[in-house]
Amino acid sequence: MSKALTKTDFHFPGQKSVYHGKVRDVYNINDEKLIMVATDRISAFDVVLPEGIPYKGQMLNQIAAKFLDATADICPNWKLATPDPMVTVGVLCQGFPIEMIVRGYLCGSAWRAYKSGVREICGVRLPENMRENEKFPHPIITPTTKAEMGMHDEDISKEEILARGLATPEEYDILERYTLALFERGTQIAAQRGLILVDTKYEFGKHNGEIYLMDEIHTPDSSRYFYLEGYQERFENEEPQRQLSKEFVREWLMDNGFQGKEGQKVPEMTPEIVSSISDRYIELYEHITGEPFVKADTDHLSERIEKNVMNYLME
């Protein structure tokens, strides 16, 4: 079976610090650049699962790079280069401690809340009598706090963000405008590929006083996609949608008694489960990019990444 990269411990020239996130390891170079390594770790319910998924990091990094390039006319973004299939180098930004989640359809955690009687999420009032996977009249923004490793993200309203000084009113207006414009572009690109961009999240930061899009964009880790074909029929028949997202991992965990709650144990991730998750990620990559996925050599992953990044830094 192909190897998976679950841990990195690089020492690059000018390296000042390293942050190990749920999926990405981020190296600070002279407080000027970030080297972001998309590992093969996978998380669900804010828990990093015990097994890595081969090629996942490569897929996430390459999808994000394509969408950063495809949306650069909407807002500035942090990307400078992709020296390795699993690495993006970008400018250092001071991140806002929130994630801008935008939803076009009622599903996932929002549906679970709605089904239990909740009619307001993050200060946004939801229409009555909606059904699972129904399209909202307009996309809604439901931000969360950006949690530290091992902590859970929490819903937060625009009013709370402003009250807590996490963004100024002027900054939040820009974040909101960028979020909706990026979601619209992502929706258009997905439709060209026979997909529906259901919901996603964006992270922003400031660089030289200007707001930049950071991190990943429109990947299966940050987004949920439905197949366009058959959506309406399945919706009318109240059947589950065919989707390309990480939700199938969450559903597998829930079916096996795990939702990230205290005392719960992650079910065994057999080689078959790991392989099936990898295959689903490849499926999304090929659908959303319209290109075949070319597997990079997984032998000596750390050495390959280190060599490619060093070559870039020495240019």
pLDDT of residue 153: 75
Under the phi-then-psi rule, with left for phi > 0, alpha for psi from -120 to 50, and beta for the rest, what region is 45?
left
Q: Which amino acid is at 59?
A: M
- What are the angstrom distances between the C-alpha of 260 and each of 4, 43, 52? 23, 10, 18
pLDDT of residue 151: 56
15-93+248-313: CATH topology is Phosphorylase Kinase; domain 1 (3.30.200)
Question: Hey, where are the domains in the chain?
Answer: 15-93+248-313, 95-241
Q: Which amino acid is at 218?
A: H
Residue 50, SS3?
coil
Burial 202-227 (b: 16+ CB within 10 A, else e): bbbbebeeebbbbbbbbbbbbbbbbb
pLDDT above 60: residue 158:
yes
pLDDT class of 1 with cuts at 50, 70, 90: low
pLDDT above 90: residue 283:
no
pLDDT of residue 99: 96
Query: Model pTM?
Result: 0.89
CATH architecture of 95-241: 2-Layer Sandwich (3.30)
Q: What is the mean pLDDT of residues 152-170?
A: 93
pLDDT digits (tens, 9 = 90+) for 207-241: 999 999 999 999 988 899 999 999 999 999 999 99
pLDDT of residue 79: 98
